[in-house]
Structure 1
Amino acid sequence: MGSHAAAKRRRPIVSGALGVTLLAALLCVPSAGGAPVSADACRTGDTEMPRGDCGPFWQVLAEDFNGDRVPLGAFSDCDHHADTSGAYCAGLTGTYRDNWWAYPTGWRDTANDRARDVVGVYHPEDTVSVGAAANGDGRMRVRMWRPADGGPVHAAAVVPRAVMQMKYGKYSARIKVTKQAAGYKSAWLHYGGGCEMDHPEGEWTGSLSAFHHPCGGGAQGSFHGADDWTEWHTVSTEWTPGTVRFFVDGRERGRDTRGVPDRPLSWVLQNESALEGPGAAPGSSAQLEITWVTAYAYGWK
């Protein structure tokens, strides 16, 4: 779940050849050719970044990180128009300054509100970078770490500016934890006004899950997504009027229709100190890599 301090609906029965096709898409089962059919609106389950509009969604962001390199230190001076669509990091340049923001240095992570022994403070300047992997693939890297002297975890929350304060939409990314250590987690989320949708969420040494906290209260919806953060996964959230759906690797892992937000919210790629289990050890670090991110606005068609 996310915060910062300053600092099942029944599916209709279908029949015939068309029904079999639709049902296969919903369940992400193999097609006649043997390949799995993704259940999400853009068929987003493969390794390739999807491009173009799909269903009721039109693409407003497609980032594969194959452009300019962004070294450590560039995600700095981010306290400009914070938490608004005008937010920016003055340390960034070019398209990255246009397209990305991060929680400013000094904002406290969620663990600070949970009386945890180990808490975190956002430091995008020394945790976030963009560059090529050994195979040439461009990636955003989030390397969180705890100082050897035992101070707070250096955490990171990055925000695509194109979908800040946007109502409804589709949000997808391909991610992998490339270095594990106890005490680090993600909670990528939309939240505000008593509403919250988290996907993916979980300690990096555990499993991926999705959570929906209905607007106005009520029991949270909890949905298991995948067992292991250290495998590549494609994660997607589809948020439409009255429904939120969560997908991992093309399979629908859960949906909820209770108290779904109907107000503009930002998509926050939040990574922070753990809320469960052991805290990060002094001198430890862990790393998440993102090979692409896409986002879509929602429109009636």
Structure 2
Amino acid sequence: MEDFSAGDVPLGAFPGPLYQERWSAGYKDGTPDTAGQVSGGKSGYYPSKVLSVQNGALDWFLRSENGISMGAAPTPKIPNSSANPPRANSLLYGRYSVRYRADPMPGFKTAWLLWPDSGIWPRDGEIDFPEGDLAKIIYGAVHFARSGADAFDKFDSDQSVSSWHVATTEWSPGRVEFFLDGRSLGATTTDAPSTPMHFILQTESCLPICPAPETQGHVSLDWISMWVPA
């Protein structure tokens, strides 16, 4: 479990000495986010301008500069032997919980996801939770592990991100289930991912709308816990 109690890290310095053994800042500054990769839009990952640790929480300061909307995608390091060769954050099944909240920011979104180590998509699937525009409801999605066109099951909540929530994913052989504050949003058994994946706290913009230039605010991660099968 990570509760960011080791101390604060100023904006631009995460993970720093306090957290570098357990975290990576993720994609480097200037890396296009999902919308940027697909459409060439002016949005991307800028951890040096977004990430810090404040008052016992990992903080994303989301905003736009010079017409570019900025997010970040930090990644926890979880040494294990799921992958061959081993990687620092490879997982095969398990239970993943986060306690988080965000300011309502239309055009910015979370897509905190398990992504296949193989990088082969959609063949090896994808699991997203919590996902959603930061001015709308929280939902989860499981992209089926199959070749061909992308297909997925989506599970909506009736909750916004403006309050603290605990979002939990339970991934087991043949099944993925999502819980929000202990209440199940639903489960799928359709072509559930079955190969090692890694957890990325992908926070981005422009899917499908971009934030207004003046839109800014914070996403806060209070804690994250992961239970991985032995």
TM-score (normalised: structure 2):
0.86
Aligned residue identity for 1:243: R
Aligned residue identity for 2:12: G
Deviation at 1:111, TM superposition (A): 0.8
Residue pair 1:73, 1:125 contacting (<8 A) in 2 also: yes
Residue 184 of structure 1: aligned partner: 108
Task: Please give the alpha-carbon distance, in whole angstroms, between the structure 1 residues aligned to 2:182 and 2:72.
Answer: 27
Q: 2:169 aligns with which of 237, 245, 253?
A: 237
Per the alignment, do residues 226 and 66 of structure 1 end up closer, same or farther by CA in structure 2, a change over 3 Å counting? Answer: farther
Counting matched residue pairs gives 212
Quick check: 1:289 aligned with 2:220? yes
Residue 5 of structure 2: aligned partner: 66
Residue pair 1:226, 1:248 contacting (<8 A) in 2 also: no
Q: What SS is found at the alignment partner of 1:112?
A: helix
Percent identical among aligned pairs is 32
Residue pair 1:184, 1:286 contacting (<8 A) in 2 also: no
Which residues of 2 match residues 240-279 of structure 1 at below 5 A? 240-277=172-209, 279=210
Aligned residue identity for 1:66: S
Please say which structure displays the higher CA radius of gyration.
1
TM-score (normalised: structure 1):
0.67
Task: Please give the alpha-carbon distance, in whole angstroms, between the structure 1 residues aligned to 2:201 and 2:157.
Answer: 17
Residue 20 of structure 2: aligned partner: 97
Residue 145 of structure 2: aligned partner: 215
More strand by share: 2
Residue pair 1:212, 1:220 contacting (<8 A) in 2 also: yes
Quick check: 1:141 aligned with 2:59? yes
Which residues of 2 match residues 18-167 of structure 1 at below 5 A? 62-75=1-14, 92-94=16-18, 96-101=19-24, 102-115=26-39, 119-132=42-55, 138-147=56-65, 149-150=66-67, 152-162=68-78, 164-167=89-92
Task: Please give the alpha-carbon distance, in whole angstroms, between the structure 2 residues aligned to 1:166 and 1:182.
Answer: 32
Deviation at 1:64, TM superposition (A): 1.2
Aligned residue identity for 2:2: E
Deviation at 1:238, TM superposition (A): 0.7
Residue 172 of structure 1: aligned partner: 97
